[in-house]
Amino acid sequence: MPLSQEQLDFFWANGYLNYGKLFTDEEVEAFRAEYDEVFRQAVEGNAFRNIAIDDGGDSQHKLKAPKQMLQITQMCERSIRFRKLLYEPRILDLVQDLIGPNLMLFHDQALSKPARTGGAVSWHQDNGYWRCRPANLVSCWMTFDDAVKENGAMQVIPGSHLKPVWHERSAETNALLKIEAVDDSKAVVCDVPAGGIMFHHCQTLHYTQPNETDRPRRAFAIHFMPPGTRDRKGETMRVDFKHPLLRASV
């Protein structure tokens, strides 16, 4: 079902849209199993990052750190199930409503906060990292566990997508950027059920807190861009293996 005018107006006024449940419980079970298997292999091969600490070191170093914000970029290069998820019509139909019928992948990523030790992702705009032009990228963030504030649900500042802000390198970890002056009294928590999705614009300020619960929070984000998007060097990003064309109007 397409997004309603009300949902579209909400997204463009606020920079995010908490869509709610999309996948069935059976689908969620299958995603969890695959997610855990890709992480198992990544730990075996030391092919993941703990962005809560300076990246680098072996798997044990990363997993024994006091905080773990575990990241695998391009799950689609490791798993057919996650590759297929990029082409999921239920998601592309909604993204098409937001940024048009021609859609490319900027990248995907799994972001896992283990129970109790899961680390934060500090306040940022995605485009603070990416510096793409035009700033017209949209992310679909989904979770395979019920996400609430305490285990790291997405928090956003409504309306912040209207203006880019300056990002500093975080003092705690080289892997993250940080913004000093965020008025988090304006933050809205997007509780998302397992199998649910939310969208955010690439300039929307967002944050996820450490996981204080006994439950994991396994999330996956697909970052979409329209063809013609330029990278930080000003070069138009080409369709290639890393940046497939996911949908094209005919």
Ligand X SMILES: O=C(O)CCC(=O)C(=O)O
Binding region for ligand X (CB under 6 A): 111, 121, 126, 139, 141, 152, 206, 208, 219, 221
Nearer to ligand X, 156 or 246 (CB): 156
Residue 163 CB, shortest distance to ligand X, in Å, is 18
Alpha carbons 1 and 94: distance in angstroms, whole number: 8
The CA-CA-CA angle for residues 58, 36, 106, to 5°, reads: 80
* Residue located via tokens 């773990």: 68
Nearer to ligand X, 101 or 231 (CB): 231
Residue 221 CB, shortest distance to ligand X, in Å, is 4
Alpha carbons 17 and 24: distance in angstroms, whole number: 20
Alpha carbons 224 and 202: distance in angstroms, whole number: 10
Residue 217 CB, shortest distance to ligand X, in Å, is 8
- Is the peptide bond preceding residue 227 cis, with omega within 30 degrees of 0? no
Nearer to ligand X, 2 or 186 (CB): 186
3 state SS of 122? strand
| Closest to 96 in 3D by CA, of 87, 83, 107 | 87
Nearer to ligand X, 101 or 178 (CB): 178
What one-character DSSP code corresponds to residue 185? G
Residue 120 CB, shortest distance to ligand X, in Å, is 8
Nearer to ligand X, 82 or 141 (CB): 141
Residue 172 CB, shortest distance to ligand X, in Å, is 15
